[in-house]
Amino acid sequence: MNPYLPILFMLVIATAFALAAMALALFVGRPRPGPERKFAPYECGIEPVGSARDRFPVKFYLVAMLFILFDIEVIFLYPWAVVFRQLGVFGLIEMAIFLGILLVGYIYVWRVGALEWQ
Amino acid sequence: MTWLTFLIVSGIAVIFAGGLIFSRNAVHGAMCLVASFCAIATLFLLLSAEFIFVVQIAVYAGAIMVLFLFVMMLLNVQGQEGALAGRAPGQLLVALALGAALLGQAVWLVARGGEIISRPARIPAGFGSPEDIGTALFTRNLLPFEITSLVLLAAMAGAVVLARKAGLSPKPNGAPAGGKPE
Amino acid sequence: MLFDLIASFIKAVLVFAVVMSFVPFLIWLERKLVAWMQQRIGPNRTGPFGLLQPIADAVKLIIKENIFPSGVEKITYFLAPMMSMIPALAAFAVIPFGSPVRIMGRTVNLQVADVNIGILYILALSSLAVYGAVLAGWSSNNKYSLLGGLRTSAQMISYELPIGLSVVSIVLLTGSLSLNEVVRSQASHGIWNIFPQFLGFIILLISYNAELNRAPFDLGEAESEIVAGYHTEYSGFRFAMFYMGEYVNMVTVAALVTVLFLGGWQAPFGPEIPLLWFLIKIFAFILLYMWVRATFPRVRYDQLMALGWKILVPASLANLAMTAVIIVLGGPNAVRILSVGSIVLAVLVGLVLKAAVALRTKSAPGLAPPAGAGS
């Protein structure tokens, strides 16, 4: 039997539960009609001002971008860690070079202030 | 059995890829793409490429699509279909030409390249566990691996420069992009 | 074949049932514990010691109106709550919760799916958990929701890095990505990974607290700033889904940390009852998180991001470097040397941090603890 098949079972059970619960809620907790402001987005009791889908700082975009790059680096570490004992000192040196180059990038990103939140 | 699984999973991948193209809402499209990526990851699993399965989910579905979502929200100034639905002049023509090229390629591959498709892989069956990838990556293909770090380094610098160009990044107390009145 | 199929299906159902039945108990426990720590009484009206409170809450939430507020993006709004719960449950599938048992003359692993990339699988799924928050925030048509969703997602992706980097060190020690193998290697080393990976454990403790969006890192739902964050506009059972998802995530994380650092199902002393010891360890870990929640005040967002990017990432890289070097040079004694080395390194990192904070406080109020909390 494929060892990944039970993961599918788990996924199906979890999804079925979530869907069933949401369907039940839809059925039992049907919203009752009310004035329009009952359905207005909550802004601490004040009438909503402006659009809710406004622009947001590019900072978040930068973090996501840096995350992808470092995430790829982390992913590379896993196959290396698995065969590390066979590679020995050689493995140590090659990963030191890899991480050394990326460390330069990390320091650059830090120095340039991309990790600051203000 | 494997064939049936393959058909179902690739069917799901194609359906969600269609959803990506046809959905009017960019965020819905992105979610379809995530689902499509997950289906493709499952296809890798059917080829016993366990490591690629995980990378496909973690990097593509988990990291890159988060960036896409952020960018969509960043551009999505007003309404759902506005900012991203602009039309460039001659867009239709270019799209048609590229589509025709892709179709021609596919037809050529199926018609002439039967032997290309059915040629057996040069890797042993069952290749694809992290051990296999590690051994291949850190012995025979060491140079490309080390060069990858340079590519990532360049990308880091690029990300910082791009964020700076948008006019609002690393300077402390810099005004946010839209110059939104507070 | 058929036996395996049925057995794994039954295991999946059981794991689902047990994890889901933890949730109401944990909700009660957290409310009660936090109340006691704050010299309150906590729930005490429904049932003995208020034990039935979560049931009452569930019933209340089910019959509440499930409002679609005006302007929400309906499909995304409907799907988002599920997306925070399903990955956590699916991740639990690869966690081994006991040593193999014999049923009807066959050996059955106490693990839903014994895959040999278990560690990476869990990391991959946890990277999918971001979507629940970010989509809920985006679809809600509410400024606070959007802010909360963005904050939560940026925080979650940022803290995935130190998590990934510290788990690599465990893989170095184990030489395998299978969680079963991690438990077995801890048995063969004769020492739990928490000792040779002490710094890694601390980093993971902090990072998972942030990954779970729990206080003091619950910036995405900071009620003093952005109402309830990304689930502001959710009512009734849809809100309950987020709430349950949070606790399911906590159980999964506790189980993962138990396997990675605390020897899994192995007994430290006393009777060899794997399942019992596994549960005890999970609960010890969860109790620690509840204690943390009741103790620390919420951090600011810039402090949170600085902690992740500027402190935890370099610290976990240092931990990784030390682990790799000692494994190569230490030979058979590597684990013993590491047990001393990791504590030394942890103290060293602590001292460096203390010096850095002292320097900061002198020049500008940044990371410094007092730093006018209101500003």
pLDDT tens-digit map of C339-361: 888 888 888 888 888 888 888 77
- Interatomic CA distance for residues C229 and C148, integer angstroms: 4
Looking at the 3D structure of chain B, how many domains does it have?
2
Measured between CA atoms, how close is B30 to chain A, in angstroms? 16
Q: Are residues B3 and B70 in the same domain?
A: yes
Domain for residue B28, yes or no?
yes
Q: How many percent of chain C have pLDDT more than 90? A: 15
Dihedral sign (CA B174, B177, B179, B180):
negative
Nearest CB neighbour to A87, from listed B138, B145, B173: B138
Q: How confident is the model at residue B86 (pLDDT cuts 50, 70, 90)?
A: low
Strands C98-103 and C106-110: antiparallel
Domain for residue A60, yes or no?
yes
Q: How confident is the model at residue B79 (pLDDT cuts 50, 70, 90)?
A: very low
Q: How confident is the model at residue A30 (pLDDT cuts 50, 70, 90)?
A: confident
Q: Are residues B4 and B64 in the same domain?
A: yes
pLDDT tens-digit map of B125-172: 778 788 888 888 888 888 888 888 889 899 888 888 887 776 544 444
Q: How many percent of chain C have pLDDT more than 70? A: 96
With CA atoms as reference, the chain A residue closest to B174 would be: A118
Measured between CA atoms, how close is A48 to chain C, in angstroms? 9
Region C255-278: mean pLDDT is 85
Domain for residue A69, yes or no?
yes
Region C275-293: mean pLDDT is 90
Domain for residue A50, yes or no?
yes
pLDDT for residue C207: 93
Q: Under 8 Å CB-to-CB from C358, ≥6 apart: which residues? A: none
Comparison of pLDDT for B125 and C299, the residue scoring more:
C299
pLDDT over 50 (residue B176): no
- Interatomic CA distance for residues B163 and B71, integer angstroms: 12
Q: What is the DSSP letter of C366?
A: S
Nearest CB neighbour to B138, from listed A4, A91, A112: A91
Measured between CA atoms, how close is A43 to chain C, in angstroms? 8
> Cβ(C149)–Cβ(C158) under 8 Å?
no
Strand partners, C103: C106
pLDDT for residue B175: 39
pLDDT for residue C375: 37
- Interatomic CA distance for residues C20 and C84, integer angstroms: 14
Best mutation target among B23, B37, B54, B173 (most C Cβ atoms within 10 Å) is B54
Measured between CA atoms, how close is C73 to chain B, in angstroms? 9
Asked if C117 and B129 come within 8 Å (Cβ–Cβ), the reply is yes
User: Does B151 touch chain A if contact means CB atoms closer than 8 Å?
Assistant: no
Q: Which of C260, C218, C358, C251 is nearest to C24 (CA)?
A: C251
Region A57-86: mean pLDDT is 87
Domain for residue A52, yes or no?
yes
CA C29 → CA C89, C245, C248, C268, C363, distances in Å? 21, 16, 14, 25, 44
Measured between CA atoms, how close is A101 to chain B, in angstroms? 6
User: Does A58 touch chain C if contact means CB atoms closer than 8 Å?
Assistant: no
User: Does A83 touch chain B if contact means CB atoms closer than 8 Å?
Assistant: yes
Measured between CA atoms, how close is B138 to chain A, in angstroms? 7
> Cβ(C84)–Cβ(C245) under 8 Å?
yes
- C103: phi then psi, degrees, rounded to nearest 5: -125, 125
Domain for residue B179, yes or no?
no
The mean-pLDDT minimum among A27-36, C40-49, C54-63 falls in A27-36
User: Does A5 touch chain C if contact means CB atoms closer than 8 Å?
Assistant: yes
Burial string for B135-162 (b: 16+ CB within 10 Å, else e) reads bbbbeeeeeebeebbeebbebbeebbee
> Cβ(C92)–Cβ(A10) under 8 Å?
yes
pLDDT tens-digit map of C92-128: 888 888 777 777 777 777 788 888 888 999 999 888 8
DSSP string, chain A: --TTHHHHHHHHHHHHHHHHHHHHHHHHTPPPP--GGGGSPPSTTSPP-S-SS----THHHHHHHHHHHHHHHHHHHHHHHHTHHHHTHHHHHHHHHHHHHHHHHHHHHHHTTTT---
pLDDT for residue C101: 76
Asked if A117 and C302 come within 8 Å (Cβ–Cβ), the reply is yes
Nearest CB neighbour to C127, from listed B28, B63, B73: B63
pLDDT for residue B78: 46
Best mutation target among A10, A38, A89, A102 (most C Cβ atoms within 10 Å) is A10
Taking a contact as any Cβ pair under 8 Å apart, which residues of chain C between 78 and 117 contact chain B? 79, 115-117
Domain range spanning residue B164?
Answer: 129-169
pLDDT over 80 (residue C1): no
Cα B173 from chain centroid (whole Å):
35
With CA atoms as reference, the chain C residue closest to A61 would be: C154
Domain range spanning residue A49?
Answer: 5-111
Nearest CB neighbour to B62, from listed C116, C117, C124: C124
Domain for residue B176, yes or no?
no
> Cβ(C147)–Cβ(C301) under 8 Å?
no
Q: Which of C213, C200, B143 is nearest to A94 (CA)?
A: B143
Domain for residue A76, yes or no?
yes
pLDDT for residue C371: 43
DSSP string, C104-163: TTEEEEESS---TTHHHHHHHHHHHTHHHHHHHHHHT--HHHHHHHHHHHHHHHHHHHHH
pLDDT for residue B169: 43
The owner of tokens 């699916």 is C90
- Interatomic CA distance for residues C75 and C209, integer angstroms: 30
pLDDT tens-digit map of B20-62: 888 877 788 888 999 999 999 999 888 888 898 999 999 898 8
pLDDT over 50 (residue C91): yes
pLDDT for residue C204: 92
pLDDT tens-digit map of C158-211: 999 999 999 999 998 888 888 888 888 888 888 888 888 888 999 999 999 998
- Tokens linked to C101: 């048992």
Contacts of A98 in chain B (CB under 8 A): 145-146, 148-149
Domain for residue B175, yes or no?
no
Contacts of C125 in chain B (CB under 8 A): 57
CATH code assigned at A84: 1.20.58.1610
Contacts of B133 in chain A (CB under 8 A): 79
Domain for residue B103, yes or no?
no
Best mutation target among B43, B67, B168 (most A Cβ atoms within 10 Å) is B67
Nearest CB neighbour to A29, from listed C66, C143, C168: C66
pLDDT for residue C168: 93
pLDDT for residue B116: 67
pLDDT for residue B170: 44
The owner of tokens 């278990």 is C118
The mean-pLDDT minimum among B72-76, C43-47, C67-71 falls in B72-76
Domain for residue B30, yes or no?
yes
Contacts of A98 in chain C (CB under 8 A): none
Domain for residue B36, yes or no?
yes
pLDDT for residue A118: 64
Asked if C164 and A53 come within 8 Å (Cβ–Cβ), the reply is no
Contacts of C302 in chain A (CB under 8 A): 116-118
pLDDT for residue C277: 86
Q: How confident is the model at residue A53 (pLDDT cuts 50, 70, 90)?
A: low
Measured between CA atoms, how close is B98 to chain C, in angstroms? 32
Give the domain ranges of chain C: 2-363
Domain boundary among B33, B48, B77: B77
Domain for residue B182, yes or no?
no
Comparison of pLDDT for A34 and C319, the residue scoring more:
C319
With CA atoms as reference, the chain B residue closest to C118 would be: B54
pLDDT for residue B127: 80
Asked if A4 and B145 come within 8 Å (Cβ–Cβ), the reply is no
> Cβ(A89)–Cβ(C328) under 8 Å?
yes
pLDDT tens-digit map of C208-246: 999 888 878 887 777 777 777 788 878 778 888 888 888
**Which one of B69-83, C90-104, C274-288 scores highest in mean pLDDT?**
C274-288
User: Does A28 touch chain C if contact means CB atoms closer than 8 Å?
Assistant: yes
Region C286-292: mean pLDDT is 92
Domain for residue A63, yes or no?
yes
The three state secondary structure string of chain B is CHHHHHHHHHHHHHHHHHHHHHCCCHHHHHHHHHHHHHHHHHHHHHCCCHHHHHHHHHHHHHHHHHHHHHHHHHHCCCCCCCHHHCCCCCHHHHHHHHHHHHHHHHHHHHHHCHHHHHCCCCCCCCCCCHHHHHHHHHHHCHHHHHHHHHHHHHHHHHHHHHHHHCCCCCCCCCCCCCCCCC
- Tokens linked to B14: 């194609």
Dihedral sign (CA C355, C360, C362, C363):
positive
Q: Which of B64, B85, B72 is nearest to B159 (CA)?
A: B64
Long-range contacts of A29-34 (CB under 8 A, 24+ apart): A29/C62, A29/C63, A29/C64, A29/C65, A29/C66, A29/C236, A29/C237, A30/C65, A30/C66, A31/C65, A31/C66, A31/C67, A31/C68, A32/C65
Nearest CB neighbour to B57, from listed C115, C124, C150: C124
Best mutation target among C78, C121, C122, C131 (most B Cβ atoms within 10 Å) is C131
Neighbours of chain A (3+ CB pairs under 8 A): B, C
Chain B residues with CB under 8 Å of a chain C CB are 25, 27-28, 31, 34, 50-51, 53-54, 57-58, 61-63, 66, 69-70, 73, 80, 129-130
